Amino acid sequence: MKLRKIVTLTEDLHREGERPVDPVARTAVVLAVIENPWAGRGYVADLLPVIDEVAPELGALLAPRVAEALGAPIEAYGKAAIVGLDGEIEHGSGLIHTLKFGDHFRKVAEATTLLPAVEKRAPAGVVFDIPLKHVTDATIRSHHQTVEARVPDAPRPDEIVVGLAAAAQGRPLARLAPLSSEQ
């Protein structure tokens, strides 16, 4: 893995609308900007050898960093891969849609659910939303939320931005009825 940089974003929300948020709602995102290991190689039929090499390294790098940045127990989580214009969406998907990547985050978060994800191909500086869901029950509506992220100079055409996001709580001032109330 050729790592160019790591970007860490945190947000502490104190007010939602006209109401105070207590306790303060904290989210954290950690993004790794890496060289796309398939860029410039044309169509690669078998992505698995590189996935097996790079995905575990990325998961091990990012999971503890996002937990540390959050500084609180993780209640909601998600992941992202944004591929530069010379790559394929499948390149980002291959890196994040494997247990070799996601299990690092599940272990740190003490989670049991699948990680929601966003993946797309885009130019440097694109704004993207990372979806979050509850770490043990994806039906808990209060934890369905998104975190916005952006790296101004990434991904370059031959790069991939891979990231993890976490929240210490559900949406601020959440008040929707449980999903079970509609069944």
Q: Which domain range does residue 137 map to? A: 3-182
Model confidence band, residue 97 (pLDDT cutoffs 50, 70, 90): very high
Q: Which of 155, 142, 134, 118 lies closest to 32, judged by CA? A: 155
Cα gap 177→142, rounded to integer Å? 9
Structural domain total, the chain: 1
Confidence class for position 65, pLDDT limits 50, 70, 90: very high
- pLDDT classification of 76: cutoffs 50, 70, 90: very high
pLDDT grade for 161, boundaries at 50, 70 and 90: very high
Residues 76-92 have a mean pLDDT of: 97
Amino acid at site 138? A
The pLDDT score that the predictor gives to residue 182 is 76
The sign of the CA dihedral 117, 118, 121, 123 is negative
Residue 181 in this model has a pLDDT that exceeds 80: no
What is the widest separation between alpha-carbon atoms in the chain?
53
Element (DSSP H or E) covering residue 160: strand 159-167
Task: Please give the mean pLDDT across all residues of the chain.
Answer: 96
Domain CATH code at residue 112 = 3.30.1330.110
The whole-number pLDDT of residue 176 equals: 85
Strand partners, 5: 33
Q: Is the distance from CB of 122 to CB of 157 less than 8 angstroms?
A: no
Reported as a pLDDT band with limits 50, 70 and 90, residue 27 is: very high
At residue 123 the predicted structure's pLDDT band, cuts being 50, 70 and 90, is very high
**Helices 99-109 and 48-70, axial angle in degrees (round to 10):** 20
- Band of pLDDT at residue 168, cut at 50, 70 and 90: very high
Buried b (16+ CB within 10 A) or exposed e, 128-145: bebbbbbbeebebbbbbb
> For the whole prediction, is pTM greater than 0.85?
yes
